Structure 1
Amino acid sequence: MSSNTILWITTFIMLGGGLLILVTGKRRTPTESLHTLLHGIVPIIAACSYLAMATGQGLVLLPTTDAVAAGAATPTRVFYFARYIDWTFTTPLLLVSLGLTAMRHVRKDYGAITGAVLADVMMIVTAFAFGASLQGWTKWTWFLVSCVAFLGVYYVIWKSQMEANAAERDDVRATYRRNAAILSVVWLVYPVILAVAPDGLGLVGDAASVLVIAILDTVAKVVYGYMAVVSDTKATDRDLAETPAGTTPLRRAA
């Protein structure tokens, strides 16, 4: 299967997944509505990115590291810059949703959520610099910086937000731990595939790397997003059942 075919297929999967989440997600409370919107818009943003790459607008040809070292203009590699634009928008949205899940009823630690988002954006921007770099030493310097920023994201997820989540009720704690684990494992594969893809060491071909990243994107944005919305619906069901008459879940979730 060619890279372009994979990009087109993923475009439609992302679009369909985003619409499915928006249509099936409920909006009985402001919190539930926000989660539905966040997880629904993420795959749609990704669909735009994949459409740009599939049509050739979201990629450029760059010389390989070996070609630059040899002073030649060829061979070239495909640099999919649109995926970094996608990640700059979508991963912060996933982190905001995860943070709000961790602190569903307790007081929100907006500093932790903001810290995770900023570290994430730094990770994506420096990963873009890694992919766009032509010289080996600058490329791997940016890769190292990106990995350090990635550790910052993990610190917030598993330290700061986990501590806040400890004060939540049992179902919210279980949901947060599951969601955090899924994102942590899936996201951990990204730097590995980027390192061995044509943008990095070139050990994996273009089509194979595009396929792996498309699968990761689908799991992180569509599968995970749908699961997160379903879990939020169940939590809202319990919120509504336990909310005393005359009050609203909005005040508890503020």
Structure 2
Amino acid sequence: MSTIEKRANNALHANGNTVNGKSVAIAITTHGSDIYWAVCAVMVCATFAFLGLAATKPRQHRIFHYITAAITLVASIAYFSMGSNLGWTPIDVEFARGVGSGVHGVNREIFYVRYIDWFITTPLLLLDLLLTAALPWPTILFIIIVDEVMIVTGLVGALVRSSYKWGYFTFGCAALAWIVYVLVWEGRRHANVMGADIGKTFLLCGSLTAFLWTLYPIAWGVCEGGNVITPDSEAVFYGILDLLAKPVFGALLIWGHRGIDPARLGLNIHDYENDAQYSDKHYAGNGTSGVTTGTDGVANGTSGVNNGHAAGQTV
């Protein structure tokens, strides 16, 4: 056996196209697996890069590095699963296609692990953006809930065979429309008030996110929804979107935050080792305590004098 054969992608042989006794007809090939592995490698490298950049900053300034590294870390695990041909279930298709279409068969491989990834990473992406815009916490929490609705309805729709899946798709698109509105309008206006550099960073990263996220429903429609393109093409479509929406987005965001103190965004993060102001307050508190004790002593002495004076009066 040659060296090239030994290094060949063996994931589909190790993890076949049968789950719980049911085989799938429309599934990725080795080419699709290779694409998922390539995206996984980029996500892993991006995670280490973001953590490395975080190490160059004081701990009070690492919040955006950590959030962004968490995004690519979770995505790494999801793409590892998909590259390994794991984390999927066969779902009967609504639209059966002809033999020469490349998507011929009664059921299609649906990667539910992709939605687990999105359920965790898309709120973190929004947290990156909305904290950058310094939006109020109630707004941030509500948008994250709306985002979770979008992801869950997308997953449920992907797992439904009948035309009712498009009802879930509509709910998801409505949630996406509200998120895009907040990014394009409310978030942008709020970020501009916080400063020109903050506004510029939010405009760049927010516009990229709003544009890319509007392409995901199209990908869903031609993949899980309409069964139009092959699972290998699905790997390319989603893979490119995720690379732009996560590592590229993260690099632009961290670059934009290089001169922005989180305190300007209302993120007053303390670190007892590096925060001189906090340390000064700590030691000042101890000194004040000592002064208080001394004052108590003076008070006691005064009390003694008063007692002596009172005694003299009695005599």
**TM tier, smaller:** 0.7 to 0.9
Point out which structure has higher relative CO (alpha carbons under 8 A, 6+ apart). Answer: 1
Report the counterpart of residue 112 of structure 2 in structure 1.
81
Counterparts of 1:216 and 1:183 in 2: how far apart (Å)? 10
* Greater than 3 Å deviation, 4+ residue runs: none
Deviations 1:215-245 (A, max 9, x none): 11111110110111111113249x7xxxxxx
Q: Which amino acid aligns with 1:234?
A: G
Report the counterpart of residue 211 of structure 2 in structure 1.
185
Unaligned 5+ runs, structure 2 = 1-29, 97-104, 265-275, 279-315
Report the counterpart of residue 146 of structure 2 in structure 1.
119
Q: Which amino acid aligns with 2:116?
A: I
Rg (Cα) greater in structure: 2
Q: TM-score of the superposition, structure 2-length normalised?
A: 0.68
Question: What is the Cα deviation at residue 7 of structure 1?
Answer: 1.1
CA gap of 1:166–1:227, structure 2 versus 1, over 3 A, is closer
Q: Which amino acid aligns with 1:196?
A: V
* Contact 2:212–2:241, Cα closer than 8 Å, also in 1: yes
Please list, as runs of the form range in 1=range in 2, the aligned pairs for 1:84-233 lying within 5 A after superposition. 84-103=115-134, 108-136=135-163, 138-197=164-223, 199-233=224-258
1:2 aligns with 2:31: yes
Q: Which amino acid aligns with 2:187?
A: Q
Q: TM-score of the superposition, structure 1-length normalised?
A: 0.84
Counterparts of 1:12 and 1:164 in 2: how far apart (Å)? 36
Report the counterpart of residue 55 of structure 1 in structure 2.
84
* Contact 1:65–1:134, Cα closer than 8 Å, also in 2: yes
Number of equivalences: 229
1:40 aligns with 2:69: yes
Counterparts of 2:110 and 2:249 in 1: how far apart (Å)? 27
* Contact 1:112–1:160, Cα closer than 8 Å, also in 2: no
SS of the residue aligned with 2:216?
helix
Report the counterpart of residue 16 of structure 1 in structure 2.
45
Counterparts of 2:47 and 2:211 in 1: how far apart (Å)? 22
* Contact 1:116–1:157, Cα closer than 8 Å, also in 2: no
Counterparts of 1:159 and 1:141 in 2: how far apart (Å)? 27
Please list, as runs of the form range in 1=range in 2, the aligned pairs for 1:227-246 lying within 5 A after superposition. 227-236=252-261
SS of the residue aligned with 1:65?
coil
* Contact 1:42–1:93, Cα closer than 8 Å, also in 2: yes
Counterparts of 1:155 and 1:118 in 2: how far apart (Å)? 15
Q: Which amino acid aligns with 1:56?
A: N
SS of the residue aligned with 1:78?
strand
Counterparts of 1:46 and 1:182 in 2: how far apart (Å)? 18
Question: What is the Cα deviation at residue 28 of structure 1?
Answer: 2.1
Report the counterpart of residue 28 of structure 1 in structure 2.
58
CA gap of 1:29–1:195, structure 2 versus 1, over 3 A, is same
Deviations 1:50-72 (A, max 9, x none): 111222321112211146xxxxx
Q: Which amino acid aligns with 2:32?
A: S
Unaligned 5+ runs, structure 1 = 68-73, 240-245, 249-254
* Contact 1:115–1:156, Cα closer than 8 Å, also in 2: no
SS of the residue aligned with 1:167?
helix
Counterparts of 1:48 and 1:187 in 2: how far apart (Å)? 21
